[in-house]
Each structure stands twice: as C-alpha cells, then as structure tokens.
Chain A
Amino acid sequence: MKKIAIDPITRLEGHGKILLYLDEGGGLKGAVLQVPELRGFEAFCRGRRGEEMPQITERICGVCPEAHHLASAKALDAAYGAEVPPAAWIQRELFYNCYIFADHLLHLVFLGGPDLLLPAEAPKGSRNVLGVLQAYPELGREVVAVRARAQRVLEIIGGRAIHPVFALPGGVARAVTPEEAEEIRGHTAAMVALAEKFVPFFHEEVLPDPGYQGLLASPGAHLPTHYLGLVDETGAPHFCRGKVRAVSSAGKELFLLEGAAAMERIAERVEPWTYVKFPYLKDLGWSGFAAGPESGIYRVGPLARLNVAERMATPLAQEEYERFLDFFGEKPVHATFAYHWARLVEMVQAAEAADALAKNKQLTGTEIRGKLGRPGEGVGVVEAARGTLFHRYALDERGLVQDLDLIVATTHNAAGIGLSVKQMAEDVVRKGALDEALLNRIEMAFRAYDPCLACATHFLPGEMPLVVEVYDPEGSLVRRIAR
C-alpha cells in the first residue's frame, strides 16, 4: 500500500537545489545554489491596488511575513510621499524588533541548536529540538516562554496572531492603548532578561566547543566578500530604517545611500541554467562565482550587518559586539560560521531596542497616519532576519501597481551560499564521498545563512528541503542526494 505523508504547509513545489560540478580529476569545479523563483508573481500583482500589497506580499512567505509586510508599507510610504508620524514609527520599530528577536532565538536554540548546543557524537535520534530541550531543560522552557511573549507583542501591534495587518501607507491602522502598552512592557522586559542570560550561556556552552572553534577558524569557511545592510545615522545596524551601507571585503565604505539609490547600485546576473538572478554590486561588475576585492559578489544578513556597522545601537549588544570583534581580530569578519554569533549580537540589540521603544511615551500616541500625496514610485527597504529585503513599486495615477521588483535576502546571498557550499564540500568530494557525509557538510554551510526558500516554496525554516545534484565534466547527472 502506498503511504502518503501529510504535513501541513510543507507542500513541495520545488526544492532548493545545490548543483555540484566535478572536474576531470573528480574534484569539485563549482557549486551553485538554485532557488525556485516566484513564477508569475509580478504579472499577478500588476493592476492590483497599491494598498493591497502589504497583504499580498506577506502571503508569499510563510517564514517572515513581518518583513514583507513592513517593506511593502515602506515602499508605499515612499510611493505616496507620506510622512509617517513618530507614534506610528515607534509601533513599527517595536513590532519589528520583536520579530527579529523571536526569529533569531528560534534559529540559535532550535534550528541551529542541534549544531551549536549538542555534541557532534550525540545519537542521531536526539539531534533535534527535543534533544536540545532535554540537554538544557530550563533554558529550553524559558526560550519557549519568552518567544511566546515576543509573539504576543506581534499579535497586539500586528492585529493578528500570525499575520500582521497593521502597517498602512503613511502609518499604522490603530493606536496602542495604555493597557496594551503596559502589557507590552512586561514582555519586552522578559526579552531583555533572557538576552542577558543567553550571552554568558553562549560563552560558556557554545563558544569554547572545539567543533565550533574549528568552524570559526576554518580556512575552508573564510569567504572574503563585500557586505550590505541598513545602518542608522550613528552607524549602528537598524532593522527597518536608515540608509543602505555597502563595505568592501577590506572594510572600505562603497556607498551609503537611501533605499531607492542603493537599489540602483545593484545589478542582477542572469545565468542560463537557473531562473534565479544573482545580485552583484554594479560598480564592481560581475566576474563569475568568486569572492574577493575584484568581485561584485556581496553578502547580507546578521554577519553582513555587523560588518557594515560602526557600532551597535544598545549597550549590551555593544559589549557583545566588542567581544565578537576581539575574538576575530579583523573587520570585516569573513568567517561564514560567525553568522551564528552575529545572530546572538543582533538578538540582544533587538531585545534592548524593543524594551526602550516599549517605554517610549509616544507608543500610545494617537496621531498614527500621515497624509498621502499623489501616487508614484517608491522603494521600501528593511532587514529581514536573513538579510536585506527591497520592495519597489511603480503606481499609476489611480494607485494601481504598474510595475514591481522584489529582491529578497536569500537571493542576495545565493552566490555567497554557493561559494560557501563549494568550500565546505571540496574535501569531501575529493575523497570521493558523494553521500550522506557530503549532504551533512553542505547543510552546515547552508544553515549558517539560515536561508529561506519559502518565498518561492512553502518550506519551513530549517526543514532543509535540499537536493544535491552532482554532474560530471560532460554535464551528465551522476548522483542525486536528498533527505
């Protein structure tokens, strides 16, 4: 009898696919990530009312609808020339910091947790989130409880438990009541308390581990790309406001621009073997799948944001950032597995920033919607947990979408992920292991970026819907590996 596995919302429309190309000697010539594209999305959106876009775009991603929702609202702010009132910005920023906190916590403890928190020799059957919970029961229960608190703030401000509906062009839908503000302050205080506890835990339980130390120091995971991310006026990372800053692999500023101007500095490389376009810095040009000063390839996400920043925005995060830089002794930090540590630094900033915003008297302000001008073109940029997210809309005089363009985090990182996979897989392939060991090595590199394929598929974060295909020098498929 045929067995059918039913797992809601893991419907398979296509896999994230890694293509490995072998050379004549059986070594690894190249590796690329193939991400399924959003076929027909632009055509579907043309002619829709601009105001619908925050709801339409958040439904394309089951992993970070918060990021699409706010990037979309920001693009509409710009398209309508709207001035967003301070009280509305406080709501948006508070909401967004809670999203970053909850997402990073999920990755650090439960998705990346089996790599970071469990010994490599742990039995395969316990290398999962329950294994993490059994190994660290008190911390695990607290993480679950505090994540629920962050989710509750998202529900209060976002208007719904799992899909926000609050951000509108020019502001937000409703004011936060004093009672809600009081409840929120209790939740954000708990977030800070957990962040304070998690930092020493990381330094005692994770960082000293020889396995993690080896990954951080590994030349095979050192990738000197350029970096891109949002910073505020003081040069600290900001998750949903500020300017886009790009720095070179040597740490030199390449540009510091508003979203629309920054988007003009990014070009997209089209390859014949994939629908995915590979973004690169236009001024440096495309010189193939290679890192280094001559290449236009850049990376986004937690590590990139720390590399483009001059400082962190909050005190505890600043302390951890300094420990992070001291450890590596260089900036930019090019160690791919530093993405995990960078996620911790950002989680701390998100908790502290959310708490400060929750205490801001303007949180309950009632002037929450700015006046809209005539519709035109606008770009909205936010930092999704996984990296920079651009939305660009061109509206006609009736406010209908005429043209749009989205660049999502995993697309920015697609070339970098391919290069990291190649680095991690090289040794294994040379030894002729085209099996589970290869898949494990590739997954480790893949997972450091916390890539999200859900904008194109319905895969869940961390589910590793990964297929690896190995091709010989003639281009023939010699092996296909999948979980």
Chain B
Amino acid sequence: MSGGLRARLVVALGNPDRGDDGVGPAVVRALGPQPGVEVWEAVRGGLPLAEALVGYERALVVDACPALPVGEVALVPLFDGRSVPAGERWLHGLGLAQGLALLAAAGRPVPATWALAIGVPTDLPFRRGLSPKVARAVPHAVAEVKRWLAN
C-alpha cells in the first residue's frame, strides 16, 4: 500500500521457544540495528511472508535448516525477482519462493530474495536457548548478513 520501494529487509524466521529453531532471531539480535535496514522476526512462511516482503528492493531470510550439517552456514539465492521456481511439490503448495513468483506474476513489486541457512538438528524440542554447536555458528552468520548488506 505504500509508495516507493524500501531498500533492504532482513527477516529472521524461527521460534525461539523451540531451541535451535530460534537461531534466525538469535542472529539478528546479535547483528543489532543497521542503518537503512529493517529487521523483522517471524515464524510464518509461504504466501503470507511473501506478501509482507512486497515493496522491498532486496530481502534476506535468515532461517534454521535441518538439511545442512549442524552449525554450517550457507547464503543462497532464493528468488531473483523474475524466474519461476520449478518442482512438482508445489502442485498445490506455496513455499516462500513460489509465493514470491506468484506475486511477481500478478504484477506486485517483490524483492530479489536470498536465504541465509544455518544447519540445525531435525529434533527441535520446546525450550529456550541454542545448543552450543549452533550458538557457535551465530558470529559466522552475523558476518554473512553484514557481507550481504555490504553488497
């Protein structure tokens, strides 16, 4: 609903009440305020998150990822603002990348979006605080966010 594009957004995804799932919020809290950058914390993905990203020029989603080795950090492009993510699994699904593609196809100004993934265990129990291995990855992840912001 707003006018011009806002520049940059960093979204930390994850639930701090579920142990290492909260690594995204832990990273942005360690990052602290950055000039000209909006920072959010959220648990929601898919189309609702994609809709919330409308109006930004670039976005970075910081998220826990069980597909990576625990403590590993990877910065990957998620949606370039144009091309359509393929994959049979989205026959009736709307992941974040698919949601962004839908909105782009409908003429909405969606941001080029990256994901900063941090490896976590698959079992995420209800408790607060990160495991030592994941906590040790936070400084590296913060450095990657800064690198993304600098570029």
Contacts from A to B (Cβ < 8 Å): 4-13, 38-41, 43-44, 56, 58-63, 65, 106, 110-112, 114-115, 124, 127-130, 133, 140-141, 144-145, 147-149, 151-152, 161-163, 443, 447, 458, 460-464, 483
Contacts and interface: CB of A to CB of B under 8 A. Distances in A.
Contacts of B107: 141
A128 B45 CA distance: 18
B17 A144 contact: no
B92 to A, nearest CB: 5
A111 B108 CA distance: 19
A147 to B, nearest CB: 7
B1 A148 contact: yes
Interface stretch (B29-37, B96-104, B129-137): B96-104
A429 B93 CA distance: 26
Nearest to A48: B17
Interface of B: 1, 13, 15-17, 21, 40, 42-49, 51-52, 54, 61, 63-68, 74, 76, 78, 84, 88-98, 101-103, 105-108, 115, 117, 120, 122-127
A11 B117 CA distance: 11
A464 B74 contact: no
Given A129-B98, A461-B46, A144 B106 contact: yes
A40 B51 contact: no
B46 to A, nearest CB: 4
A285 B114 CA distance: 52
B93 A460 contact: yes
A41 B126 contact: yes
Contacts of A443: 92
B94 A161 contact: no
Given A12-B122, A144-B108, A163 B96 contact: no
Contact of A11 (B1, B46, B66, B101): B66
Contacts of B127: 40, 44
15 contacts: A6-B78, A6-B117, A9-B49, A9-B63, A44-B126, A62-B45, A110-B102, A111-B93, A115-B92, A128-B91, A129-B94, A148-B54, A163-B44, A443-B92, A483-B88
Contacts of A114: 91-92
Contact of B91 (A6, A44, A62, A464): A464
A3 to B, nearest CB: 10
A443 B107 CA distance: 31
Nearest to A41: B126
Nearest to B14: A9
Contact of B17 (A56, A147, A463, A464): A56
In the complex, the 3 A-B pairs of residues with the closest C-beta atoms, listed nearest first: A9-B45, A44-B126, A463-B93
